Chain A
Amino acid sequence: MQHNSLAQLEIPVVMGNHLEELPDDLFIPPNALEIFLETFSGPLDLLLYLIRKDDIDILDLDISKITDQYLEYIELMDSLKFELAADYLVMAATLAEIKSRLMLPKESFEDEEEDPRAALIKRLQEYKRFKTVSEKIAILPRVDRDFFIASAKVPKLQESLLKEESEINITDLFTSVVEVLNRPNYKNSHLIDFEELSTKERIQILLDILNNKNIISFSKTLRKPEGKKGVVVTLLASLELAKDGYIELIQNKSEELFIKSVRGI
């Protein structure tokens, strides 16, 4: 009994007959790798082909047989020195896994609620929907293949519009050249010094202010001459202090930001 099932694994049984050779339609002519790639758009496509070839419903998928056939294809691809796409190998592994799980004694797999094939069947079904519809879209009339757009040559645009542009005389040209040559040289290098405002220094200043006052509005800590940069540095300093827990930043509905010192820490 056990021997029988092992033998079946080695020689696939199709319609009750033992197959000892590869079926003819499994044959891929040599140097037809590109044809192969074009024929199947992916591992799911290859699987669907194998299923359809035997005229069986996806739901009645005989995983054992399909796995054998799929692996035969993969071996063929391999023997043709075909650089196997990783995705085909992933599918081979998935099939092998499902097959091995199905071969386990039934009791051990009764605990599991789902048929190990269910996920694969679902993927096949989902893929099939799009495969079918993509074949329909492929035969829809397409521009430049099935139909063409009509157009007519646009008439010459009014000459008066073009004339103005061409009215450049030699004097204009000369003046332009002279003007370009007389342009000051802008390539001199400049060195721009930035007035450094230190965040560290600002932290100290804020702490000094908060020593005298418990709470102060953010805008009152700013110094006008420092401009935007001053605001940025002060904000950075406040955030730094808030992060370390020295101050709290409070904002009420008036949108004014208040800095409150946290004492006793």
Chain B
Amino acid sequence: MEHKVINSVEALLFGSGRPIRLSEIKSILENTGLSVELSEIKRAINDLEMRYEGTSLKVTEVASGYRLQIKEDHGHILSALWNEKAPRVSKALMETISIIAYKQPVTRGDIEDIRGITVSTRIIRSLLERNWIKVSGYRDVPGRPTLYVTTKDFLNDLNLKSISELPELPEIEENEEKDILSQAI
């Protein structure tokens, strides 16, 4: 019985190709005639983790659930296989997604204020196509600019469970106010 649960969970992880939640696994198993508790599924995942020790696989928990991935040690082999690297991400795009991640929800104007340069439509479109950001609404000011927030897919793609796992945003390097003034010529 226990064995059956573990193998069913493994089949789902392998077959889904995307993160899958414990609750989703539970309802699929129940619909196909295997009644299990969430704790049992969690235990099955722990068992799988142990089973995969010493192999190239591992189970990872990300924002949208659990998924099966290949350990990073083997990343370079697969890069060679696919022959093409993941599309290069520009500095401008990284700055934009960072501002959205830490200040969300933000408008293009907010991003421009910080970056000091117009946010190109190309960048926003590229982020929307990657499904890293989504429209969360419109700010209630004249022009009703679009508000953007980051998505779960953004966290999934960076192997993160939640936004709080992003690197900490550095504080402004504080210095004595009078220092600034004394330097003024």
Check B118 for interface membership: any CB of A closer than 8 A.
yes
Chain A nearest CB, measured from B131 CB (Å): 12
Decide if B98 touches A141 in the complex (CB within 8 Å). no
Chain B nearest CB, measured from A129 CB (Å): 5
| Chain A residues within 8 Å of chain B by Cβ, number | 51
Q: Report chain A residues within 8 Å CB of B102.
A: 130, 133
Decide if A150 touches B69 in the complex (CB within 8 Å). yes
Check B172 for interface membership: any CB of A closer than 8 A.
yes
Of A117, A133, A134, the contact of B91 (CB 8 Å cutoff): A134
Q: Report chain A residues within 8 Å CB of B17.
A: 149, 151
Tell me how many residue pairs across A and B have CB atoms closer than 8 Å. Answer: 148
Chain B nearest CB, measured from A3 CB (Å): 18
Among residues of B, the one whose C-beta sits closest to the C-beta of A61 is B183
- Interface-side segment among A41-49, A201-209, A216-224: A41-49
Among B67, B117, B172, B173, the most chain A Cβ lie within 10 Å of the Cβ of: B117
Among residues of A, the one whose C-beta sits closest to the C-beta of B184 is A115
Check A179 for interface membership: any CB of B closer than 8 A.
no
Q: A125-B172, A142-B157 are in contact. Are A150 and B14 (CB under 8 A)?
A: yes
Of B71, B78, B98, the contact of A130 (CB 8 Å cutoff): B98
Decide if A130 touches B86 in the complex (CB within 8 Å). no
Of A61, A64, A118, A144, the contact of B86 (CB 8 Å cutoff): A144
Among A64, A102, A142, the most chain B Cβ lie within 10 Å of the Cβ of: A142
Chain B nearest CB, measured from A98 CB (Å): 10
Contact with A along B78-115 (1 / 0, CB 8 A): 11001001100111101101110110000000000011
Chain B nearest CB, measured from A9 CB (Å): 13
Decide if A147 touches B184 in the complex (CB within 8 Å). no
A135 and B91 alpha carbons, distance in the complex (Å): 8
Q: Report chain B residues within 8 Å CB of A24.
A: none
- Interface-side segment among A14-22, A52-60, A187-195, A255-263: A52-60
A118 and B180 alpha carbons, distance in the complex (Å): 8
Check A178 for interface membership: any CB of B closer than 8 A.
no
Decide if A143 touches B157 in the complex (CB within 8 Å). yes
Decide if A147 touches B75 in the complex (CB within 8 Å). yes
Check B158 for interface membership: any CB of A closer than 8 A.
yes
Decide if B172 touches A126 in the complex (CB within 8 Å). yes
Decide if B116 touches A147 in the complex (CB within 8 Å). no
Decide if A133 touches B116 in the complex (CB within 8 Å). no
Check A81 for interface membership: any CB of B closer than 8 A.
no
Among residues of B, the one whose C-beta sits closest to the C-beta of A118 is B180
Check A152 for interface membership: any CB of B closer than 8 A.
yes
Check B34 for interface membership: any CB of A closer than 8 A.
no
- Interface-side segment among B1-9, B23-31, B134-142, B162-170: B162-170
Decide if A130 touches B167 in the complex (CB within 8 Å). no
Check B38 for interface membership: any CB of A closer than 8 A.
no
A144 and B17 alpha carbons, distance in the complex (Å): 13
Check A136 for interface membership: any CB of B closer than 8 A.
yes
Decide if A136 touches B114 in the complex (CB within 8 Å). no
Q: A117-B180, A121-B180 are in contact. Are A148 and B70 (CB under 8 A)?
A: yes
Chain A nearest CB, measured from B39 CB (Å): 25
Among residues of B, the one whose C-beta sits closest to the C-beta of A42 is B117
Of A86, A133, A141, A154, the contact of B170 (CB 8 Å cutoff): A133
Q: Report chain B residues within 8 Å CB of A87.
A: 116-118
Decide if A132 touches B115 in the complex (CB within 8 Å). no
Check A170 for interface membership: any CB of B closer than 8 A.
no
Q: List 29 A-B contacts (CB under 8 A).
A: A38-B91, A41-B91, A42-B117, A44-B116, A57-B173, A87-B118, A115-B181, A116-B184, A128-B170, A130-B169, A131-B95, A133-B102, A137-B98, A137-B167, A138-B91, A140-B158, A140-B159, A140-B167, A142-B158, A142-B159, A145-B75, A147-B69, A147-B72, A149-B17, A149-B67, A150-B68, A150-B69, A151-B17, A151-B68
Q: What are the 10 tightest A-B residue pairs by CB atom distance, in nearest-first order? A: A42-B117, A134-B98, A151-B17, A152-B14, A145-B86, A44-B116, A136-B167, A134-B94, A41-B92, A150-B68
Known: A64-B185, A127-B114, A132-B170. 12 other contacts (CB 8 A): A38-B91, A57-B173, A59-B180, A60-B183, A61-B183, A117-B180, A130-B95, A137-B101, A141-B159, A148-B70, A150-B14, A152-B15
